[in-house]
């Protein structure tokens, strides 16, 4: 197959000016200058000379070649450089060094609402987006009905998109990008905003577009199950470095093993980061007796304690836990606000502890095998922590059926000819 993208040794370095983190009002600056004029002048000279700047390496020497018609997954922990990589491919930002050679036109779904004018209606934005992609009006008209049908926004077609929900934004943006037939389509985690049915519909469309029309897709997602089912090859990024590229199942297993190896203990102490409004400080996996543990017996309850710190009153965030099996499938997701809606408006400053309980019993359990618990504050892309666990059915309480969850509850049977007979357990 012909090459459509060549990435040659790209590096992206951001300069972070530390002085911008501490804004001083004029009164405060004047007070500081009067109290210690020499220190004040020295600091200003250092800032002007650039010595107060800090560099952040977002990507480091990334090289790869992609062929026409490939679906490429991009995975890695939060802060790995996945979104920066897509922005460089899309020429939203330039690499500090290296080059990207693209043979074809690109459409992207990087953020909710990207590419739409908020004052224009859905109808007008379809034509607007098509024109940006270089399509003639006649071509857009030919595809218009299919775009509207796929997006499921018929009743709101003539409503300004600034009044659309985030889900409506995503549906229309994806439909436009997919039907305008770009040579390359870049998709970031934005699809997570849509409902499950629409996500499934999008994944089917991605596969259809790539295989039928030989379009190239870059797909960034934390949903390893979707990456596994969709992508031919996968790129694994971590802290801006290319850790692995290859067959998707192999790369996902490497990623999960790596995350478990880095963060493998039952107790994780996290550093105090002074400029964070909120942060996790400690995570502890425990068995029923309260002992830190990562290996659990099937059918037994286990717990995850999360200690976190809030620096400012009225901070809005939630802590999300996902359980992923060794094949990359998400088994379940839970948030600390699910049964505590009182936390949603905002939390007071202080240090807190919250506990997740997996209700293991003789009726339900995770199946035997290896799992990964990923814990993060959704509003902080750098906060993700992974804890590996193992489940073993030592005492053979459950039948060894395939699947992620074992069910031990007996079926209830009734005699067919006696509908009012007392239920019997077999």
Residue 27 lies in a domain: no
Give which of 289, 310, 314, 313 is closest to 300, Cα–Cα.
289
Query: pLDDT digits over 401-425, tens only?
Result: 888 888 877 788 888 775 555 544 4
Q: Are residues 237 and 349 in the same domain?
A: no
Q: Phi, psi (5° rounding) for residue 163?
A: -95, 0
Write out the two tokens for 384: 């993700």
Q: Are residues 301 and 231 in the same domain?
A: no
Q: Are residues 145 and 228 in the same domain?
A: yes
pTM of the complete model beyond 0.85: no
Residue 187 lies in a domain: yes
The DSSP bridge partners found for residue 53 are: 17
The DSSP bridge partners found for residue 304 are: 285, 356
Residue 23 lies in a domain: no
Q: Are residues 287 and 353 in the same domain?
A: yes
Q: Are residues 220 and 284 in the same domain?
A: no
Q: Give whole-number Cα distances, 377 to 42, 307, 340, in Å.
A: 39, 12, 16
What is the model's pLDDT at position 59? Answer: 93
- Structural domain of 213: 58-251
What is the model's pLDDT at position 20? Answer: 43
Query: pLDDT digits over 63-121, tens only?
Result: 999 999 899 999 988 778 898 999 999 888 899 999 999 998 887 777 655 667 888 99
Residue 50's pLDDT band, with cuts at 50, 70 and 90, is: low
Q: Considering its fold, how many domains does the chain have in total? A: 2
Residue 257 lies in a domain: no
Q: Are residues 102 and 232 in the same domain?
A: yes
Query: pLDDT digits over 256-293, tens only?
Result: 777 665 555 788 889 888 888 999 999 999 998 888 98
Give the CATH number, domain containing residue 128: 3.40.50.300
Q: Are residues 105 and 236 in the same domain?
A: yes
Mean pLDDT of 171-200: 76
Q: Are residues 297 and 388 in the same domain?
A: yes
Q: Are residues 341 and 206 in the same domain?
A: no
Mean pLDDT of 350-369: 91
């Amino acid at each position: 197959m012909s090459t459509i993208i060549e990435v040659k040794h790209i590096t992206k370095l951001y300069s972070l000016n530390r002085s911008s983190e501490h804004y001083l009002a004029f009164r405060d600056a004047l007070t500081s200058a009067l109290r210690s004029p020499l220190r004040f002048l020295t600091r200003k000279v250092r800032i002007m000379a650039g010595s107060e700047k800090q560099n952040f390496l977002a990507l480091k020497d990334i090289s790869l070649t992609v062929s026409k018609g490939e679906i490429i997954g991009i995975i890695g922990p939060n802060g790995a450089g996945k979104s920066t990589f897509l922005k460089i491919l899309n020429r939203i930002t330039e690499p500090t060094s290296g080059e990207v050679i693209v043979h074809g036109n690109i459409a992207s779904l990087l953020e909710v609402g990207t590419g739409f004018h908020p004052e224009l209606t859905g109808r007008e934005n379809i034509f607007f987006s098509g024109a940006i992609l270089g399509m003639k009006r006649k071509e857009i008209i030919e595809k218009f009905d299919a775009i509207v049908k796929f997006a499921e926004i018929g009743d709101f077609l003539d409503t300004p998109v600034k009044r659309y929900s985030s889900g409506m934004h995503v549906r229309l943006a994806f439909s436009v990008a997919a039907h305008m037939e770009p040579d390359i389509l870049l998709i970031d985690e934005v699809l997570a905003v849509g409902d499950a049915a629409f996500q499934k519909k999008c994944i089917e469309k991605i596969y259809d577009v790539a295989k039928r029309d030989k379009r190239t897709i870059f797909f960034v997602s934390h949903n390893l199950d979707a990456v596994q089912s969709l992508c031919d090859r996968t790129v694994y990024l971590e802290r801006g470095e290319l850790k692995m590229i290859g067959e998707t199942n192999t790369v996902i297993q490497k990623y999960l093993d790596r995350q478990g190896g880095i963060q493998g203990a039952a107790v994780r102490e996290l550093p105090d980061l002074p400029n964070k409004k909120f942060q996790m400080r400690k995570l502890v996996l425990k068995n029923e007796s309260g002992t830190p543990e990562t290996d659990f017996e099937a059918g037994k309850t286990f717990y995850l304690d999360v200690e976190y710190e809030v620096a400012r009153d009225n901070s809005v965030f939630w802590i999300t836990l996902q359980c992923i099996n060794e094949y990359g499938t998400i088994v379940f997701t839970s948030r600390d606000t699910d049964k505590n809606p009182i936390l949603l408006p905002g939390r007071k400053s202080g240090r807190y502890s919250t506990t997740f309980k997996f209700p293991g019993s003789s009726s339900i359990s995770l199946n035997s095998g290896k799992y990964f618990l990923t814990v993060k504050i959704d509003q902080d892309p750098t906060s993700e922590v992974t804890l590996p666990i193992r489940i073993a059915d030592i005492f053979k309480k459950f039948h060894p059926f395939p699947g992620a969850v074992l069910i031990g509850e007996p079926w209830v049977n009734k005699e067919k000819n006696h509908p009012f007979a007392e239920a019997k357990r077999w």
